[in-house]
Amino acid sequence: MIELAWPWLLAAAVLPLLARLAVPPAEGARGAIRIPFYHRVARDSQPASSPWYRVLLAALAWLALVVAAARPQWIDEPVALPATGRDLLLSVDISGSMETADLFLGSQPATRLDVVKNVVGEFLDRRQGDRVGLILFGRRAYLQTPLTFDRATTRQMLDESVIGLAGKETAIGDAIGLAVKRLREQAHDQKVLILLTDGANTAGAVDPLKAAQLAEQEGVRIYTVGVGADEMMVRSLFGARRVNPSADLDEDTLRTIADQTGGRYFRARDTDELVQIYALLDELEPVESDEEVVRPRRELFHWPLTIALAVTGLLILGRLRFRSRRFASA
C-alpha cells in the first residue's frame, strides 16, 4: 500500500488559487510618455492569454511537486524479525590432537577439526537471532570473533582455522576464563558457552575447575562436548593394531564443568553423534522470538518529482518557441 509521510503538505495544492484570489490583476495605467510607435509596443507587451492546455500542464506540474513534497512511500508486507536475549560463545579446540583422522564425513575419513567445522557451521546457520562469538584455543585461547549477529562471518572464521594456530597443547581453563570475561561485559541474562575439545587441560594459567566456579558466579551456563572415536586401526611396521585415540580425553573434568554451571556434558564418538548433540543443543537453548514486526518502506517521491520537472521543462520549451515565433513575425 501507499502512504504519505507528510500528508499535511497536500494543503499547499490550493496556494496558487489563493494567490490568484488575494492579488487582483493589475489594471492598465495611462501612459505618461508618448512615443511614435506606441501602438506596436503596446501590442507586443500585452501578454497573450494562455491556452487551456498550458494552464492544465502548469496545474499538473504544481500538483506533482506537492505530492513529491508529501513523501509518498510504498509500505511492504509485515516482516517478522527474530529477536533473542541470548549471547552464545563457541569455544573450539584446535590443538594438535584435533588433526587425528578418526571420524568420517560421508564415507571419507576426516580429521576431527574438519568434522567440527562442518557440524558447528550448520549449527551456526540455525542460530538466527542469537549473538554468536568464536573462541579458538590450543596452548593459548584467542577470541577469533566477538559476539555478533553476523553468523556468516563467524562461520567463515571457523572454516579458516587451522591446526596449531594457537599451539599444540590444550588450555581448557584459559578458554573458559576468556569466555567468562567476554560474557561478563554483556547485560543479557542468557549467557551460554559451548566448549568442544578432544583432550585434557595441558597448558594455560587457569585451572578448568576454578574457571568453572567463576563461570557459575557470572551466570554462564557451559555445555561441554568431548569429541573423538573410541577406537581406530593404526598401521605400523608390525601390522595393523587397534588403539583408543581418545585415551587423553578428560571426561570427568568436562562433566564436572558442565554440572557446576547448569549445563550438560556430551560425548561424540562419530559424526552422527556430533550432529545429534548440536541438534539437542538447539532444543536446550532455543532461539526465542519476541515476534517483533516491521514493515519495510520504499520512498516514491522521485516519481512525482520527475513528472513535475518534465512538465515544467515542456512549459518552458513551449514558451521559448512561442516567443521566437513572435520575434520572427515582428
Model pLDDT, residue 35:
54
CA distance 149 to 132: 6
Model pLDDT, residue 87:
82
With a threshold of 0.75, does the pTM exceed it? no
CA end-to-end distance (rounded Å), the chain: 55
Rg, C-alpha atoms of the chain: 38
Model pLDDT, residue 140:
93
Model pLDDT, residue 27:
55
Average pLDDT, the chain: 84
The beta strands (E) that lie in 205-272 are given as: 220-227, 232-236, 239-243, 265-268
Q: What are phi and psi of 93, to 5 degrees?
A: -75, 125
The beta strands (E) that lie in 18-161 are given as: 72-75, 79-81, 86-93, 103-105, 108-110, 131-137, 141-148
Q: What are phi and psi of 296, to 5 degrees?
A: -60, 145
Q: What's the grid cell of residue 263?
A: 549445563
Residues of the chain with pLDDT under 50: 29, 46-47, 289
Model pLDDT, residue 146:
93
Model pLDDT, residue 26:
56
Model pLDDT, residue 282:
86
**C-alpha distances in angstroms, 144 versus 19, 188, 197, 254?**
68, 21, 17, 22
